[in-house]
A and B are shown apart, each in its own frame.
Chain A
Amino acid sequence: MNSPGQQMTESARQREQANALLLAALRAPESLPGLPPTDWDLLLRVARRTRLLGRLEAQLAALGALDAVPERAVNHLRSARNLVQHRHTLLTWELNRVLWALEGLDVPIVALKGVAYVLADLPAAPGRFFADLDLLVPHADIQAVESRLLERGWIKLPLSPYDDRYYRVWMHEIPPLRHRERENEIDIHHRILPRTSRFDFDPAPLFERTRPVAGSQARVLGPHDMLLHGLVHLLLEGDPQEGLRLRDLVDVADLLRHFGREPGFWDGLVPRAEQLGLGRPLYYGLRFTRRLLASEVPDPVLRAASRWAPPRPVGALMDWLLPLAILPGHPDHPTRRAALARWLLYARAHWVRMPPWLLIRHLLYKSWLRVRGVPKRAALGPEELKRM
Chain B
Amino acid sequence: MTICALSYDLASQRLSSTSGVDLQIGPFVFNLRLHCPDLARLLYELWRDYPLAEGAAVRDFHIQATSNPAPGRWLRRDVRFFVDGRTPFPLLPAHHHLPMLEWGLNWCIAQRSHHLLMLHAAVVERNGRAIILPAWPGHGKSTLCAALIHSGWRLLCDEFGLVRPEDGALLPLPRLIPLKNESIEVIRSFAPSAHIGPSFYGTRKGTIAHVRPPTESVERMHETARPGWFVFPRWVAGSPLRLEPMLKSEAFLMVATNAFNYEVLGQTSFELVGRMVDACDCYSLVYSDLDQAIKALDELTRAADD
Contact = CB atoms under 8 A, between A and B. Distances in A.
Do the two shown chains form a genuine complex with each other?
yes
Interface of A: 36-38, 40-41, 44-45, 48-49, 70, 72-73, 75-76, 78-80, 82-83, 85-86, 89, 331-332, 334, 377-382, 385-386, 388
B85 to A, nearest CB: 4
Given A75-B115, A386-B120, A82 B137 contact: no
20 contacts: A37-B58, A44-B58, A45-B62, A45-B84, A72-B56, A73-B58, A75-B60, A75-B113, A79-B113, A79-B115, A82-B115, A85-B266, A331-B85, A332-B62, A377-B88, A378-B107, A380-B103, A380-B204, A381-B204, A388-B107
Interface residue range, chain B: 20 to 34
A70 B58 contact: yes
Overall SS of chain B's interface: loop
B195 interface: no
Interface in B91-110: 92, 100, 103, 106-107, 110
Contacts of A79: 112-115
B242 to A, nearest CB: 25
B162 to A, nearest CB: 12
B90 A377 contact: yes
B270 interface: no
Interface stretch (B2-10, B65-73, B126-134, B257-265): B257-265
A382 B137 contact: yes
Contacts of A331: 62, 84-86
Interface in B11-28: none
Contacts of A76: 60, 112, 115
Nearest to B118: A386
A332 B85 contact: yes
B59 interface: yes
A41 B265 contact: no
Interface of B: 29, 56-60, 62, 84-90, 92, 100, 103, 106-107, 110-115, 120, 137, 204, 260, 263-266
A78 B116 CA distance: 9
A72 B29 contact: yes
Contacts of B113: 75, 79
Between B107, B114, B120, the greatest number of chain A beta carbons within 10 A of the residue's beta carbon is seen for B114
Nearest to B83: A331
B259 to A, nearest CB: 8
A388 B114 CA distance: 12
B110 A386 contact: yes
Contacts of A75: 60, 113, 115
B57 to A, nearest CB: 3
Contacts of B111: 388
Closest 4 A-B residue pairs measured CB to CB?
A: A37-B57, A331-B85, A78-B115, A79-B114
B89 A86 contact: no
Contacts of A37: 57-58
B57 A86 contact: no
A7 B86 CA distance: 21
Nearest to A38: B57
Given A378-B107, A380-B103, A82 B114 contact: yes
Contacts of B87: 377
Contacts of B92: 380
A115 B107 CA distance: 29
A280 to B, nearest CB: 33
A86 B62 CA distance: 26
A85 B266 CA distance: 9
Contacts of A38: 57-58
